Structure 1
Amino acid sequence: MLLTNKHTKQYAVFYAICFVVCSFWHFYLGRTLSSISPIFFLNRLDISLNILLLTNIQHYIIENKWLQICLDFVYFLLPILLAYSFIKNKNAHKFFAISTSLFSIVYLLLFSIFSIISIEVFIAWMFVPLVFYASNSKSFYFMMHILRLLFLLFFLSTAIWKISTGAFFNIEQMSAILQIQHPAYLAENPNTFYAKVLNFYIKNENISYLFYASATLLELSFLIGFFTKKYDKILIVFFCLFLTFDYFLMGINYTQWLPFMGCLYFSKYKLDES
């Protein structure tokens, strides 16, 4: 089967749906600049972030409520305009692809220092828009596969890091991670079912390690994607398993990585070289 413009537009629709659903969820939880009304920020060792902070934009945001609202509005609007312009074959889609990616990087870098949410969970909104810079199915094919390789690398590098640091060989690793990840919840809600589940895995290191080892092997399995696209649908299932267990055990929500799944799903279509 050949990759056609119909497939590229389907990916754009999928991207837009993912963004709208995730955005509504974040808005409902109050995870926007205007909702959290930041009064301080937390810096970290990040070159791009520190270059951005040299502009003092973080102080302007803290002091100006309307600026917070405007930044939220633009952040939520750009992906919709991008998807619409791409689906309707508007010439502006290239402009919106670059604008959406760059603005998302700036917005999410800033949001991550005003909140406790890691920048890591937002990377799909930074990279996926660039796929829609493509002007035809051929360029889309190559850009999509570059994005696919990046996604595979994200997962594989995590597994390699766990193995290289020795964490994979530490039976107590998962138990310790759960204690570090959920201290506030365990202290405030010790009698809930979820707290009892967490305490069970914390106390039973061998059982909790099985989850850690399984997750590492699952991440390592993404290596196969560098050699063949035959198992991409299985990798989608693996990702969904990872997403589910990471959310319920670690409380980390990776649903915003779902747009990457389009790369794995549409990878089955071949390039029309005629």
Structure 2
Amino acid sequence: MSFAWFAWHGLTLFQQAPVFFLNKLDISGNVLLSTGMAKCLISSGALRFTADAIFFLLPFALALSVFLQSRIVTFVALFTAIFNMAYAYVFSIFTFMSIEVFTAWMFVPFVFASSNTRTNYYLLHIVRIVFLLIFFSTALWKIRAGGVFNAEQLSAILLRQHASLLLSDEPYWFSQFLAFLIGNKTLSYTIYLLAFLLEFVFVIGLFTRRYDRLLIVSFVLFLVFDYLLMEINYFPWTPFLGCLIFSRCKEPGSEVRIEKQFVVHSS
């Protein structure tokens, strides 16, 4: 679904047809660029189409490998994660899209990087913790940067994010709504504070899995309002929901160990 949204809006490597790229101060990224991959993608539409196709098809290949309990599931999972990292980085230097949008597609495949169910269980919880830390760290950043203490923060963000829309001469209800929020700093700050709390509450998940259902609701609310208000599509992060949905499942084999311990103590 996420890839379909990107394709509908012309946000694939093939559709973008880039003519230049923006280098970043990133060691691993520059190692990737040293292979000449970016220049090859710029010069070859067929290569860009192939990269898009692989990126689109890999999740299906991984799902099929897991369903069939294939011996190559580890290879497919690792290849999917590594390819998605490379694709996301290249995509981010060709377009205005941030690499952060692809975070789930880079991490979630690692959950299936084993043919052992118990190992998958632990990998799921590792990815869950990574997800919680990412979200909680965004709340910490708002504290560190001082945004949470600035009553005009969201008004300024909206003004910068939607500058072209606000300067448009065409009357549009959304631009009028944005102008209302920008002018009403108390209301906009309240919304910003609620968004901060939605992120900060994820710290609970680092100590207990009991409230993961609450975190699911918080996450969905964040995605919806971020898309509606900021027009930023973070729905590709939805695979992380699986880590919260299945977090309270019992560890595979735990019942067997309990039964063995009971038999030993009984004897």
Q: TM-score, normalised by structure 2?
A: 0.92
Q: Which moved more, 1:162-171 or 1:21-30?
A: 21-30
| 8 Å contact from structure 1 (residues 218, 238) kept in 2 | yes
* Counterpart residue type for residue 149 of structure 2: F
Aligned residue in 2 for 1:51:
31
Q: How does 1:96-245 map to 2 (within 5 A)?
A: 96-188=76-168, 190-245=170-225
Give the whole-Å Cα distance in 1 for the aligned partners of 2:191 and 2:13: 35
- Alignment pair present for 1:77 and 2:95: no
The match for 2:8 among 28, 39, 49 is 28
Report how far residue 70 of structure 1 moved: 1.2
- Number of residue pairs the alignment of both structures matches: 254
Report how far residue 90 of structure 1 moved: 1.0
- Give percent identity, aligned residues only: 47
Change (3 A) 1:189 1:111: farther
Give the whole-Å Cα distance in 2 for the aligned partners of 1:190 and 1:224: 45
Give the whole-Å Cα distance in 2 for the aligned partners of 1:49 and 1:250: 28
Give the whole-Å Cα distance in 2 for the aligned partners of 1:185 and 1:39: 27
The runs of 5 or more residues in structure 1 that have no matched partner are 1-20
Aligned residue in 1 for 2:72:
92
Give the secondary-structure state (helix, strand or coil) at the position aligned to 2:22.
Answer: coil
Report how far residue 50 of structure 1 moved: 2.0
Report how far residue 189 of structure 1 moved: 5.7
Report how far residue 106 of structure 1 moved: 0.5
Give the whole-Å Cα distance in 1 for the aligned partners of 2:238 and 2:149: 30
Give the secondary-structure state (helix, strand or coil) at the position aligned to 2:246.
Answer: helix
* Counterpart residue type for residue 226 of structure 1: L
Aligned residue in 1 for 2:48:
68
Post-superposition CA distance 1:187-216 (Å, at most 9, x none):
236510010111111111111011111111
Give the whole-Å Cα distance in 2 for the aligned partners of 1:47 and 1:199: 41
Give the whole-Å Cα distance in 2 for the aligned partners of 1:223 and 1:165: 19
Q: CA RMSD in A?
A: 1.1
* Counterpart residue type for residue 53 of structure 1: L
Q: Which moved more, 1:199-208 or 1:24-33?
A: 24-33
Q: How does 1:244-263 map to 2 (within 5 A)?
A: 244-263=224-243
The runs of 5 or more residues in structure 2 that have no matched partner are 257-267
Post-superposition CA distance 1:26-50 (Å, at most 9, x none):
2222211111111111222333222
Larger Rg: 2
| 8 Å contact from structure 1 (residues 112, 119) kept in 2 | yes
Give the whole-Å Cα distance in 2 for the aligned partners of 1:138 and 1:61: 40
Give the whole-Å Cα distance in 2 for the aligned partners of 1:144 and 1:206: 40
Give the whole-Å Cα distance in 2 for the aligned partners of 1:52 and 1:150: 24
Give the whole-Å Cα distance in 2 for the aligned partners of 1:262 and 1:72: 24
* Counterpart residue type for residue 87 of structure 2: Y
| 8 Å contact from structure 1 (residues 190, 196) kept in 2 | no
